[in-house]
Amino acid sequence: MNAIISATELAKELAGGDPPVLLDVRWQLSTAAAGGASPFDGRAEYAAGHLPGAVFVDLDKELASAPGAGGRHPLPDVAEFGAAMRRAGVSSGRPVVVYDGGQGWAAARAWWLLRWAGHPNVRVLDGGLPSWEAPLSTDVAVPTEGDFAPEPGGAGLLDADGAAALARSGVLFDARAGERYRGEVEPIDPVGGHIPGAVSAPTADNVAADGRFRPAEELRRRFEALGATEGEAVGVYCGSGVSGAHEVLALAVAGIPAALYVGSWSEWSADPSRPVAVGPDPQ
């Protein structure tokens, strides 16, 4: 099963006899609030116009638990996540399509969580809302309660120790921008740099200018050149387990399974006992 779906394909499925559940997960990482500006409001964006029938899902409240020692976006409580998905109309026997405002990070976080929780059929709208050319709706969808019951373990999950070990025994990709990996700038977390042994692989390089994923073969060549060759275990981290999910999705498009370190740099860098590497060299 493909991990992504085009707007054309989605339109056909929505017009068919077994339309997918649509989840709108518009979200942006924003440091604007620190300067007094209003933070991004995904719910307001949803209210202004969304795919017909889509239900809004709040990444910060429903796809993560409260920030803390586990990072800025730790795993949500399993029971609470399941309840949120059921309220959104998610059932195990019905396909789900997730989209966001076009960056793809938030949609990928929802995709990864649902897969990790055992849902068998989840895809991301390639290119997000900007790829949708049909009219939008301002009606608030009220779905029938779903029956989805999470069974964690359906996708690879790394903790800090597992990420450290994988950086030595396999391939651990750092999905953040290169300057954050090198420790040249760090706008969010207390320490700049990367996990020793991790390889820089910015997730922005997985998509074209229109926000759509590059072809599967092109992605495969990219990741193989970075060390994800056949037989190697692969993991990904980022700042807080959001853009890293997008890289796991890109790897899935390329046919390469990968695990996600959800705590990512926000958890790692908050622990002074964890080593930090700087510069372009993985070590």
Q: Are 73 and 160 in contact (CB under 8 A)?
A: no
- Identify the three-state secondary structure at position 44: helix
**Active-site annotation holder among 57, 113, 125, 238:** 238
Q: Are 46 and 56 in contact (CB under 8 A)?
A: yes
Structure tokens at 264: 């990512």
- In a 10 Å sphere around its CB, with 0-12 CB exposed, 13-18 middle and 19+ buried, how is residue 216 labelled? middle
E-strand ranges in the chain read 4-5, 21-24, 55-56, 96-99, 122-125, 157-158, 171-174, 199-200, 234-237, 259-261
* Backbone angles phi and psi of 245, in degrees to 5: -65, -35
Q: Report the distance separating Cα 36 and Cα 16, nearest Å.
A: 47
238 is catalytic: yes
The region, left, alpha or beta by phi > 0 then psi within -120 to 50, assigned to residue 100 is beta
Q: Report the distance separating Cα 180 and Cα 236, nearest Å.
A: 15
Catalytic residue IDs: 238
